[in-house]
Amino acid sequence: MLACLLARAAQQYTALRIEEGGLCTQRNYSLSSAPGLDHLRITVKRVPASKQGAPAGQVSEYIHDTVAAGHTLQVAVPCGDFFLDDAQLEDDLPLVLLSGGVGITPIGT
């Protein structure tokens, strides 16, 4: 199974399933590690409660406050069909990538 997780393209995402402490949910996160490494990394922004009264993000709070090295997580195989195929690039042509918001993480990979 580990080979399936590590064999991926840049700009893909994975799903984390959290079933602990009364929390049972799944969230998708962009993979922020480069392909070909022996590990996966996600980027999780902590979502605090808003001044307008919206609650803090349950999963982001859980990940930041609870998950540490050695913690076991349920992770799906990488997904996403919208990625840059290096084989289609031409060395002499410039490439411009634009993104914003949640789209910034996959661009960095």
Q: Which residue has the higher pLDDT, 1 or 68?
A: 68
Report pLDDT digits (tens) over 52-64.
888 888 888 889 9
For residue 61, give both structure tokens: 């709070």
DSSP codes of every residue in the chain: -HHHHHS--TT-EEEEEEEETTEEEEEEEEB-SPTTSSS--B-----PPPTTSPPPPHHHHHHHHH--TT---EEPPPB-S----GGG--TTS-------GGGHHHHH-
Structure tokens at 45: 């922004």
pLDDT band at residue 17, thresholds of 50, 70 and 90? Answer: very high
Predicted local distance difference test score (pLDDT) of residue 1: 55
Q: Does residue 37 contact residue 31 with C-beta atoms inside 8 Å?
A: no
- Which of 78, 73, 84 is CA-nearest to residue 37? 78
Query: What's this model's pTM, rounded to 2 decimal places?
Result: 0.72
Least confident of 15-19, 20-24, 67-71, 72-76: 20-24
52-107 pLDDT, tens digit per residue, is 888 888 888 889 998 998 888 898 888 877 666 667 777 777 777 777 766 666 66
Domains of the chain, CATH where assigned: 2-108 (2.40.30.10)
